[in-house]
Chain A
Amino acid sequence: MTSAPAVRCVRLTKRLPSGAEMLTILDGVDLEILTGESVAILGPSGSGKSTLLGLMAGLDRPSDGEVWIAGARIDRMSEDELSLLRRRQIGFVFQSFQLLANLTALENVLLPLELTGVRGARARATELLREVGLGDRTHHYPAQLSGGEQQRVALARAFAPEPSILFADEPTGNLDGATGASILGLLASLRETRGTTLILVTHDGEVARAAQRRVHLRGGRVERVEATA
């Protein structure tokens, strides 16, 4: 028997109010992502990429349709259940890094570990920061770090609790080309050594090429799916 897919979307629909009317952002998306797979979600702005990511990660709620993660239906979970799900299984990397400004690099990485109360959190966080190349900057505050460095801290934070699925929302969107490439390389190597499922949202075809599958969105629908041979 095959194990359940990492993520499964069934007729996933999201409508938002826009003035007096309802605007359909996502329109009946069906998608299945296997465990350990890396998938890029591509599309022009406004195609519903980030919305799809938010729904799959349980950050947002669909207007219609279903979302399943590791065999559990999440779209009807309570806020608390969703929190626990994210804490145990999901990691995030964002375009704007989303580090807490009043915490040092190390403390930012520690935050999710403190939440689960794992042993040796500090050693693990320090090791991860070393792995992303910031071993000597653990006590710097985000404002004292460059954009690329901040995103490395974000990567370390995302991998620290060892999630089974990592969601990345335009992880290189705020970085220059070279820095972006090194972040992508780092992301790939961290993922491969841990076998993490990766779901990456980007509008950049270059970035998407690294993924095993590419899902193209347009107007809230899946336009086509292509797989790397």
Chain B
Amino acid sequence: MKARAAIAFALRESRGARGRLMFFAACLALGVAAIVGVAALIGAIGDGIRSRSRELLGADVSIQARRELPAELDERIAALATSGPARRTDSRELTTMARNPRSGESELVELTGVGAGYPLYGAVQLDPPGVLDDLGDERAAVGPELLHELGIALGERFQLGDAEFTASAVVLDEPGRLGAAFQAGPRVFTSLAGLDRTGLLGFGSRVRYRALVQVPLAMSPAAVDAWAARLEKELPGAEYLNVETASEAQPTIRRSLQRIERYLALAALLSLVLGGVGVAQIVRAWVATRTQAVAVMRALGFRPREVLFLFATHVALLAAVASLAGAVAGTFLPFLLPALAPELLPRGIELAWEPWSIVRGTLLGVAIALAFAIPPLTAVWRVAPARVLRAEVEPLPAPRLVTWGAFAFVALGVLASAWVQAGSFLLALAFTGGVAVAAGLLALGAFGLTRLADLLPRAKLPVWLVHGTSALARPGAGTRGAVVALGLGVLVVAATALIEQQLSYRLRTALPADAPTVFLLDVQPDQWAGVEAVLQRHGADNVRAVPVVTARLTSIDDVDVGRLAATRGDGQLDRPRWVLTREQRLTWMRELPPDNQLVEGALWSDPATAEVSLEQDFAADLGARIGSVLRFDVQGVPVELTVTSIRTVEWESFSINFFLVAEPGALDAAPHALLGAARIDAEAEQPFQNELARTFANVTPIRVRTVLEKVMDVLGKLAVGVRMLGGFTIVVGLLILAGVASAGAVHRAREVALLKALGVRRITIAGLFATEFGLMGLVSGLVGGVAAAVLAWVFLDRIAEAGGPFAWWAPVVAALATAILAAACGLLASARALSARPIETLRG
């Protein structure tokens, strides 16, 4: 048969079926809109990052390290300059305290000292307008929050370390910062000379050194990357450098973007899959009304697969139109985001149209519609052509291949869509399996509901309950599809809400009663007595201080760290590269604190060697075992330590703990700072911080409560996105429920008319309908809620390791809320049936 004939047929099939078409279109369009919305948003951000990668990096190449950058870097840049001018500018970044010298108010800030010409591309936007080069030695550009926190105005002075600065401009926008990302505090920019005045660059401070390089214009991106790759190999201490090029376009942001996209894309796909369930329902009802037409077509010589092809063409055409509409609507979603949640967008990114995501979304919509339409369409195999002669013909048996093939088709369709969406086969498999299990449970729940409705002792119940429940058991009531769809929606929304709420609760309350609430970084040994006195004045208890030695790991068992690092990627979850190249922090102690547990070896057991004890997971990531020899570079002095014990740490205690604990004496000669910890009441924290900023400006206090608030803030922002997509799934579920209600409208109207004729009051009939839909909602909510509670518990207890009780109450709340929602929705959808008049029974 020709395609044109099939399309002509498909178009003719659409006649006089407006209700079916609208419902069909709504089911698909919503899901596609969610998918395209997510794809368009992430795509637009990704494109923006790529197209403006130089401005975002501020350079062609950026080199960053925890220590002074090697002097050889200048020679390398000079060598570049043979083909044209090359430039370098530097920045140094650290977290420290800013202070209002008059009021004494203090605030933790992210301070960056910048060299001339910073950044080399793009600009930090200032108000009043200006450039960072104009800051001179005594002026600073500050984030607007800092003015607020310190209670100063532009033009007034504030203190950083030992020096005072005039807040001369507000930082409006800084390219390359993700708004939703974690930030320790407001931004402050000074010149490099200004930063030197603060005296904060002394020993023990945690400074990030960064060089920005602009290469000659004539250099190709490939040549730039090759040059950068050589730096990463050949410079002294190269393995500890973090080299980024503009052509890599913010690998860190894009990696996290990718991770976020996977999950959001799958959450969006779930709405579409539910739309698919709706499509299956509609197609089943539609094919049932077309049985006679199918019989005629079969008598005319159509083979079953040709009938299927015609009907499937109809579905595909409709799906294409509906999906396209949804896709176009979806592309507008990203443009709403700056208004709804501006903090989710990286600064300096403009949104753009993503035509490709429209195409992809439309194709996904058609694919899912077809996948879910095929199983009900296989009913055409069962239509006997002899039906044209007499109605009561036995249906034909469908070939087994067709029945099983149809199920396989749905599974493969969902799997393929998930693969496209998540870009990972394993994740797609998990998604498909998860949906299948949840749908199976929900279908089982629906089946149980219909059986229960059948078994109910009718005689003893009020009329509305009898009819409401028996309506559920009626053949072809579509109960199962509605329950599955609605339940899956409940599952998504309830699971994300539970995880977010429990995580937030855990983070807020998890602080054990004696856990420190403030950590003090970079305390110099001779400052400790003074710092301790400040702590005492503010009522601190559980005051502790441990020595901290910063060092670079240089080799494990004589294998150079550079060689080990070369085999690992930074993004990989298992044995990441940064574990080797990070600035390692070691302490020493005689006995382990109670929240440490030895699992292997013995502590300080070999008098002949200098020993170190490793945390279990860290040891695994390093690839070190008992007996491994770790060599460190401690401020230029080589130190060799042998692993003699492995221990676990109960990190939830929030106490001071280290991956690396050395034997007392092994590091005695090494220069060290102290890490302090103490417990202070919440109200005393700010006054304490203010006094500390005045007396020990180089010490950085980290307030646990504030950090947790900020973490929760970031989590909350991400959860909004997931919850919005979950909302889509609920709407689709309710839509399907409404579809069930309106599909039975004719039947219902007759029933209502009959009941009214028999003298049943309208309110009782409404109660009967509400019972029917409410029961469906109850089952959906209950099963969805139980699944959500299990999922949340598994995630929290097993994956996030946050522990927490099983949310027994969640299924109850979900069941009741869904029941009410479903009852309301079902009543609305059957409003017309409810108004049927008794006289209509006579008309038949």
Contacts and interface: CB of A to CB of B under 8 A. Distances in A.
Interface of A: 50-51, 53-54, 57, 59-60, 79-80, 82-88, 90, 92, 94, 98-103, 107, 111-112, 114-115, 117, 157, 161, 169
6 contacts: A54-B389, A83-B306, A86-B299, A102-B13, A103-B12, A114-B2
Nearest to A169: B389
B595 to A, nearest CB: 73
B304 interface: yes
Nearest to A57: B299
Given A83-B304, A90-B301, 11 more contacts: A54-B386, A59-B384, A83-B298, A92-B300, A94-B388, A94-B389, A102-B16, A112-B300, A117-B2, A161-B301, A169-B389
Most-contacted residue by chain A among B15, B301, B386, B388 (CB, 10 A)? B301
B296 interface: yes
Nearest to B5: A114
Interface in B281-304: 292-293, 296-304
Nearest to A61: B386
Given A87-B300, A92-B300, A115 B1 contact: yes
B386 A111 contact: no
A87 to B, nearest CB: 3
B9 interface: yes
A92 B303 contact: no
Contact of B297 (A50, A60, A111, A117): A111
A100 B296 contact: yes
Contacts of B408: none
B299 A50 contact: no
A79 B386 contact: no
Nearest to A108: B296
In the complex, the 7 A-B pairs of residues with the closest C-beta atoms, listed nearest first: A87-B301, A114-B5, A86-B301, A83-B303, A60-B386, A59-B386, A59-B385
Contacts of B16: 102
A79 B2 CA distance: 21
A98 B296 CA distance: 7
Interface string B350-394: 000000000000000000000000000000000011101110010
Nearest to B381: A79
B299 to A, nearest CB: 6
Nearest to B295: A98
Contacts of A50: 389-390
Given A79-B396, A117-B2, A86 B389 contact: no
Interface of B: 1-2, 5, 8-9, 12-13, 15-16, 292-293, 296-306, 384-386, 388-390, 393, 396
Given A54-B389, A59-B386, A102-B16, A114 B301 contact: no
B389 A114 contact: no
Contacts, number: 85
Given A102-B13, A102-B15, A114-B9, A80 B303 contact: yes
Nearest to B307: A83
Contacts of A98: 292, 296, 299, 388
A112 B301 contact: yes
Given A100-B293, A102-B15, A53 B301 contact: no
A59 B299 CA distance: 7
B1 A114 contact: yes
Contacts of B292: 98
A92 B301 CA distance: 10
Contacts of A99: 296
Nearest to A88: B301
A100 B294 CA distance: 9
A115 B300 contact: yes
A103 B16 CA distance: 11
B9, B16, B296, B305: most-surrounded residue (chain A CB, <10 A): B296
Contacts of B2: 114, 117
Nearest to B17: A102
A51 B386 CA distance: 9
B288 to A, nearest CB: 15
Nearest to B392: A16
Nearest to A99: B296
A107 B12 contact: yes
Contacts of A107: 12
Nearest to B304: A79
A60 B388 CA distance: 11
A94 B5 CA distance: 25
B388 A92 contact: yes
A150 to B, nearest CB: 13
A121 to B, nearest CB: 9
A41 B292 CA distance: 25
B573 to A, nearest CB: 53
A117 B1 contact: yes
Query: Which of A53, A87, A114, A117: most chain B CB closer than 10 A?
Result: A114
Nearest to B298: A83
Given A87-B301, A100-B296, A115 B386 contact: no
A161 B12 CA distance: 21
